[in-house]
A and B are shown apart, each in its own frame.
Chain A
Amino acid sequence: GQNIDQPTEMTATEGAIVQINCTYQTSGFNGLFWYQQHAGEAPTFLSYNVLDGLEEKGRFSSFLSRSKGYSYLLLKELQMKDSASYLCAVLDSNYQLIWGAGTKLIIKP
Protein backbone atom coordinates (compact mmCIF):
# COMPACT_ATOMS: atom_id res chain seq x y z
CA GLY A 1 0.00 0.00 0.00
CA GLN A 2 0.96 3.63 -0.21
CA ASN A 3 2.10 5.38 2.91
CA ILE A 4 3.26 8.81 3.98
CA ASP A 5 4.69 9.25 7.49
CA GLN A 6 5.31 12.50 9.30
CA PRO A 7 5.29 13.39 13.00
CA THR A 8 1.92 14.26 14.46
CA GLU A 9 3.03 17.31 16.39
CA MET A 10 6.14 19.41 16.99
CA THR A 11 6.89 22.36 19.24
CA ALA A 12 9.48 25.05 18.60
CA THR A 13 10.43 28.46 19.90
CA GLU A 14 9.93 31.76 18.11
CA GLY A 15 13.10 32.72 16.23
CA ALA A 16 14.43 29.18 16.18
CA ILE A 17 14.74 26.60 13.37
CA VAL A 18 12.59 23.50 12.99
CA GLN A 19 12.81 20.54 10.61
CA ILE A 20 9.71 18.52 9.75
CA ASN A 21 10.46 15.11 8.29
CA CYS A 22 8.41 13.08 5.84
CA THR A 23 9.04 9.52 4.64
CA TYR A 24 7.06 7.88 1.90
CA GLN A 25 6.42 4.57 0.19
CA THR A 26 4.36 5.04 -2.95
CA SER A 27 3.74 3.33 -6.27
CA GLY A 28 5.91 5.56 -8.41
CA PHE A 29 7.06 9.08 -7.76
CA ASN A 30 6.40 12.25 -9.70
CA GLY A 31 7.24 14.79 -7.08
CA LEU A 32 6.69 15.77 -3.47
CA PHE A 33 4.74 18.77 -2.21
CA TRP A 34 4.67 20.59 1.09
CA TYR A 35 1.56 22.55 2.02
CA GLN A 36 0.78 24.76 4.99
CA GLN A 37 -2.67 24.65 6.52
CA HIS A 38 -3.90 27.00 9.23
CA ALA A 39 -6.79 25.78 11.36
CA GLY A 40 -10.11 26.09 9.55
CA GLU A 41 -8.51 27.06 6.28
CA ALA A 42 -7.56 25.26 3.07
CA PRO A 43 -3.95 24.24 2.41
CA THR A 44 -1.60 26.65 0.69
CA PHE A 45 1.33 25.58 -1.48
CA LEU A 46 4.83 25.89 -0.03
CA SER A 47 7.18 23.84 -2.19
CA TYR A 48 7.62 21.15 -4.81
CA ASN A 49 10.63 18.80 -5.14
CA VAL A 50 11.12 16.26 -7.89
CA LEU A 51 14.93 16.09 -8.00
CA ASP A 52 17.23 15.26 -5.11
CA GLY A 53 18.55 18.18 -3.17
CA LEU A 54 17.58 21.30 -1.34
CA GLU A 55 15.17 23.95 -2.63
CA GLU A 56 15.34 27.23 -0.74
CA LYS A 57 12.56 29.78 -0.74
CA GLY A 58 13.00 32.55 1.80
CA ARG A 59 12.66 31.24 5.34
CA PHE A 60 11.43 27.87 4.09
CA SER A 61 13.55 25.16 2.48
CA SER A 62 12.60 21.67 1.32
CA PHE A 63 14.90 18.72 0.82
CA LEU A 64 14.37 15.49 -1.09
CA SER A 65 16.18 12.16 -1.27
CA ARG A 66 14.39 9.85 -3.68
CA SER A 67 16.62 6.87 -2.92
CA LYS A 68 15.70 7.11 0.76
CA GLY A 69 12.05 8.03 0.20
CA TYR A 70 12.63 11.01 2.46
CA SER A 71 11.97 14.72 2.54
CA TYR A 72 12.10 17.46 5.09
CA LEU A 73 10.75 20.97 5.38
CA LEU A 74 13.05 23.41 7.17
CA LEU A 75 11.63 26.56 8.69
CA LYS A 76 14.04 29.25 9.84
CA GLU A 77 13.53 32.34 12.02
CA LEU A 78 10.23 30.98 13.23
CA GLN A 79 7.38 33.43 13.69
CA MET A 80 4.18 32.95 15.64
CA LYS A 81 2.22 32.98 12.38
CA ASP A 82 4.07 29.81 11.35
CA SER A 83 1.92 27.88 13.83
CA ALA A 84 -0.04 25.61 11.49
CA SER A 85 -0.20 22.09 10.16
CA TYR A 86 2.31 21.15 7.49
CA LEU A 87 1.21 18.52 4.99
CA CYS A 88 3.53 16.34 2.95
CA ALA A 89 2.04 14.92 -0.27
CA VAL A 90 3.52 12.71 -2.99
CA LEU A 91 2.43 12.57 -6.62
CA ASP A 92 2.39 8.87 -7.52
CA SER A 93 2.81 7.13 -10.88
CA ASN A 94 -0.83 7.88 -11.74
CA TYR A 95 -0.29 11.57 -10.93
CA GLN A 96 -2.53 11.18 -7.91
CA LEU A 97 -1.64 13.09 -4.75
CA ILE A 98 -1.11 10.87 -1.72
CA TRP A 99 -1.39 12.92 1.47
CA GLY A 100 0.31 12.56 4.83
CA ALA A 101 -1.70 13.18 7.98
CA GLY A 102 0.09 16.46 8.60
CA THR A 103 2.38 17.76 11.32
CA LYS A 104 0.93 20.29 13.73
CA LEU A 105 3.62 22.85 14.52
CA ILE A 106 3.23 24.83 17.73
CA ILE A 107 5.37 27.95 18.11
CA LYS A 108 6.02 29.23 21.62
CA PRO A 109 7.23 32.74 22.47
Chain B
Amino acid sequence: EIVVTQSPATLSVSPGERVILSCRASQTIRYLAWYQQIRGQAPRLLIDAVSSRATGVPARFSGSGSGTEFTLTISSLQSEDFALYFCQQYHSWPLTFGQGTRLEIQ
Protein backbone atom coordinates (compact mmCIF):
# COMPACT_ATOMS: atom_id res chain seq x y z
CA GLU B 1 0.00 0.00 0.00
CA ILE B 2 1.23 3.48 -0.91
CA VAL B 3 1.19 5.78 2.10
CA VAL B 4 0.36 9.42 1.36
CA THR B 5 1.46 12.08 3.83
CA GLN B 6 0.31 15.69 3.80
CA SER B 7 1.89 18.65 5.54
CA PRO B 8 1.18 20.72 7.43
CA ALA B 9 -1.98 19.50 9.17
CA THR B 10 -3.19 23.07 9.64
CA LEU B 11 -2.13 26.31 8.00
CA SER B 12 -3.19 29.73 9.27
CA VAL B 13 -3.08 32.26 6.46
CA SER B 14 -4.61 35.57 5.46
CA PRO B 15 -6.79 36.30 2.43
CA GLY B 16 -4.71 37.32 -0.56
CA GLU B 17 -1.69 35.27 0.48
CA ARG B 18 -0.07 32.58 -1.63
CA VAL B 19 -0.08 29.17 -0.03
CA ILE B 20 1.62 25.88 -0.87
CA LEU B 21 0.32 22.54 0.43
CA SER B 22 2.57 19.49 0.32
CA CYS B 23 1.85 15.84 -0.35
CA ARG B 24 4.39 13.03 -0.25
CA ALA B 25 3.97 9.45 -1.43
CA SER B 26 5.88 6.51 0.04
CA GLN B 27 6.92 5.41 -3.46
CA THR B 28 7.05 6.91 -6.93
CA ILE B 29 3.61 7.54 -8.37
CA ARG B 30 2.27 9.00 -11.62
CA TYR B 31 -1.34 9.69 -10.68
CA LEU B 32 -2.35 12.11 -7.94
CA ALA B 33 -5.45 14.19 -7.31
CA TRP B 34 -6.28 17.06 -4.97
CA TYR B 35 -9.70 17.65 -3.40
CA GLN B 36 -11.25 20.54 -1.53
CA GLN B 37 -13.81 19.86 1.19
CA ILE B 38 -15.89 22.66 2.63
CA ARG B 39 -17.35 21.82 6.04
CA GLY B 40 -20.52 19.79 5.76
CA GLN B 41 -20.08 19.12 2.04
CA ALA B 42 -18.75 16.30 -0.09
CA PRO B 43 -15.21 16.65 -1.42
CA ARG B 44 -14.74 18.36 -4.76
CA LEU B 45 -12.08 17.38 -7.29
CA LEU B 46 -9.70 20.31 -7.80
CA ILE B 47 -6.64 18.91 -9.54
CA ASP B 48 -6.39 15.66 -11.51
CA ALA B 49 -3.35 13.83 -12.84
CA VAL B 50 -0.96 15.97 -10.73
CA SER B 51 -1.51 19.25 -12.58
CA SER B 52 -4.80 19.33 -14.55
CA ARG B 53 -7.47 21.62 -13.13
CA ALA B 54 -10.89 20.01 -12.97
CA THR B 55 -13.83 21.61 -14.74
CA GLY B 56 -14.78 24.96 -13.24
CA VAL B 57 -11.79 25.23 -10.90
CA PRO B 58 -10.35 28.76 -10.77
CA ALA B 59 -6.92 29.40 -12.25
CA ARG B 60 -5.52 30.41 -8.85
CA PHE B 61 -5.32 26.66 -8.05
CA SER B 62 -2.38 24.78 -9.54
CA GLY B 63 -0.76 21.43 -8.95
CA SER B 64 2.75 20.26 -9.62
CA GLY B 65 5.31 17.66 -8.70
CA SER B 66 6.67 14.29 -9.69
CA GLY B 67 8.01 11.11 -8.23
CA THR B 68 7.09 11.23 -4.55
CA GLU B 69 6.74 14.98 -3.94
CA PHE B 70 3.69 17.01 -4.98
CA THR B 71 2.27 20.43 -4.19
CA LEU B 72 -0.98 22.33 -4.48
CA THR B 73 -0.54 26.07 -4.81
CA ILE B 74 -3.25 28.65 -4.29
CA SER B 75 -1.91 31.89 -5.71
CA SER B 76 -4.11 34.36 -3.85
CA LEU B 77 -6.41 33.03 -1.16
CA GLN B 78 -10.05 33.97 -1.37
CA SER B 79 -12.50 33.68 1.52
CA GLU B 80 -14.14 30.63 -0.04
CA ASP B 81 -10.78 28.78 -0.13
CA PHE B 82 -10.61 28.31 3.64
CA ALA B 83 -11.41 24.61 3.73
CA LEU B 84 -9.90 21.14 4.07
CA TYR B 85 -7.65 19.82 1.29
CA PHE B 86 -6.80 16.19 0.58
CA CYS B 87 -4.43 14.58 -1.86
CA GLN B 88 -5.07 11.07 -3.15
CA GLN B 89 -2.97 8.65 -5.18
CA TYR B 90 -4.59 6.47 -7.80
CA HIS B 91 -1.36 5.06 -9.15
CA SER B 92 -2.17 1.66 -7.69
CA TRP B 93 -4.74 -0.21 -5.60
CA PRO B 94 -5.61 0.32 -2.82
CA LEU B 95 -6.39 3.97 -3.39
CA THR B 96 -5.08 6.06 -0.52
CA PHE B 97 -5.56 9.59 0.79
CA GLY B 98 -3.41 11.94 2.78
CA GLN B 99 -4.67 13.00 6.20
CA GLY B 100 -5.60 16.45 4.95
CA THR B 101 -4.48 20.06 5.41
CA ARG B 102 -6.90 22.57 6.90
CA LEU B 103 -6.57 26.20 5.82
CA GLU B 104 -7.64 28.57 8.56
CA ILE B 105 -8.06 32.32 8.51
CA GLN B 106 -5.23 33.98 10.40
Asked if A and B are interacting partners, one says no
Interface residue ranges, B against A (CB under 8 Å): none
